[in-house]
A and B are shown apart, each in its own frame.
Chain A
Amino acid sequence: MKNFTYRYTILIIILVFSLSGCSLDSENSFDPGTGQGGSLARFTILDNFLYIVDDTSLKTVDISDPLNPHLLSTTLLGRGIETIFPYGGYLFIGSTDGMFIYSVEQPDNPTFVSIFSHLTACDPVVVQGDYAYVTLRDGVDCWQAINQLEVVNVSNVFDPRLERTVPMRNPHGLGVDERILFVTEGTFGLKQFQLDNPTNPVELRFIDTLKAFDVIMNNGLLMVVGQDGLFQFGYGQDGSMVLLSAIKRQ
C-alpha cells in the first residue's frame, strides 16, 4: 500500500511538472530552433512564417526556404503599429490604437479576431495564461498623459476585458515568467512585480538606478537593455534577484 501511494505521488509530481512546463513559456519554447525577442520586437517567427509589423501593417513572410523568403501578404492595420507578441496560436499586436489580436490558425493567412482599445495608446504587450500585460506610455486621455500597466483578460479572445490598471512613470518593454513580471520604466528604472494573483501585480522592487527600455526573461535569466548598456540578472520565482553582469555603453 505504501509503495502504491509512493508511485502515485511520483506520478502526480511528474504530471504537475509536465503541465506547468507547458504553460511556462510563450511560443518560443515550442520550437527550440527559434530565438526570443523582447516585447518591443516587430519581428516574430512561428514555424515557417515570419510576421513583421511596420508602422501601418502586418506582413506575413514565408521562410520555409530561408534563402528565398517570400512575402505572402500585407494586412493594413492602421497607424502606429509597434510590437508583435505570439502566444497560444494568436498574435498580439501593440499599436497606438490599442491591442490587436490576430489568429494564426492558418499561419499563411492571419485573421483578425478583436481589438482591445481602452485609451488611445497601448504599446508593448506580453501574454501569459489568460492575461495580457500591456504598457501604456504617454497615452492621451484628453490632455493628461497616462502612463500605466494594464492587465487585460484575454481568456475570450473575441472580447478582451480590462481587469486592472497599475500607475507607472514611463513604461516601455516588459516580460513575464510565471509569477514574476518585469516592467521597464525608461530612464526612471526597472520594476519587478509578483503575480501570485495574475490580475494583481504587486510591486516587489524598484531599481531606480537602472535605466531600462526592454527585457527578455528566459528560465531565470533576465536580460535588461537600457541606455547605459546590457545588464543581466538571475531571478527566482520567490522574488530574488542577483546581478550577474553588465556590458556598459562605451
Chain B
Amino acid sequence: MALKTILLSFRRVFLLCASFIILLVASSCETDPPLFPVGEVMGYKPLYASDFVDTDVRVIEPQPINNPGKIYYYGSYLFLNEGGYGVHLINNVDPSNPRQVGFIKIPGVGDVAIRGNMMFANSFRDLVTIDLSDLANIREVGRLEDVFPDAPSNLVPPDRGYFECVDTEKGRVLGWGYQLLDNPKCFR
C-alpha cells in the first residue's frame, strides 16, 4: 500500500515535472502546470456572437444573478458584473437591504469605472461611456472603437488560469466572461 502510494506520488511528480518542462520550453515558466479535473472554479467562458441578439448598451429590468463577477462601488450603488453580459445595478443606500433596481446590458463587459456619473466600460473591442445621471434613463453617450483590438480574435482568455474551451461550432468568439465554471478542460 505504502509502496503504491510512493509510486503514485512519483508518477504525479514525474507528470508535473514533464508538464512543467513542456511549459517551461513553451512559455518560459509563466504558467503553472494545470491540474485536471478541477471541479468548480472561477475562470473565463467564451462569449459567442450567437449569444447576443445585438450588442447595444441599454437598461432592462433586474435580472437574476447567475454568474457574479467583479464589483464596483459608486455613490451608494453597487455594480456587479454578470458573466460578461452586463452589470446588475444595486441600490445600496441601506447595505442591510440592498435592492436590485435594474440591469445594464453591456455585451462583453469585463470592467467598469465611474467618475462624475459617467461609467466607462469595455464592450468587446470598444470602450463605451454610459451616462448614469438619470437612473431612469441610463444610456450610451460615447464610444471609442477598437481600443482592445486583440480581444475578439483570441482563442484564449485575457488571464492565465482555467477556462472553458472554445467550441468552434458555436461560431465566432466575441469576448470572455469571468464566472464560475464547472470542471473546465482548458488552461493557459
Contacts and interface: CB of A to CB of B under 8 A. Distances in A.
Nearest to A70: B144
Contact of B129 (A56, A66, A249): A66
Contacts of A247: 65, 90, 98, 100
A69 B121 CA distance: 12
5 contacts: A35-B115, A36-B74, A69-B129, A80-B159, A145-B32
Q: Interface extent on B, as a size class?
A: 35 or more
Interface string B86-118: 000010100111101000000000111111111
A223 B78 contact: yes
A172 B159 CA distance: 13
Most chain A CB atoms below 10 A, which of B98, B111, B180: B111
B20 interface: yes
Given A41-B113, A42-B111, 13 more contacts: A33-B116, A37-B111, A54-B150, A54-B151, A54-B158, A59-B147, A67-B129, A68-B142, A68-B144, A96-B30, A142-B20, A216-B71, A245-B96
Nearest to B159: A82
Given A61-B144, A249-B66, A244 B32 contact: no
B177 interface: no
A43 interface: yes
A34 B68 contact: no
B112 A143 contact: no
Interface residues of A, number: 62
B58 interface: no
Given A187-B40, A229-B65, A35 B114 contact: yes
A5 B76 CA distance: 41
B65 A34 contact: no
B115 A223 contact: no
B49 interface: no
Contact of A43 (B29, B31, B41, B111): B111
A36 B77 CA distance: 11
B141 interface: yes
Given A66-B142, A96-B160, A245-B95, A250 B80 contact: no
A214 interface: yes
Contacts of B98: 230, 232, 245, 247
Contacts of A101: none
Nearest to A242: B96
Nearest to B158: A55
Given A61-B144, A143-B13, A227-B42, A45 B68 contact: no
B17 A143 contact: yes
B70 interface: yes
Contacts of A36: 72-74
Nearest to B112: A43
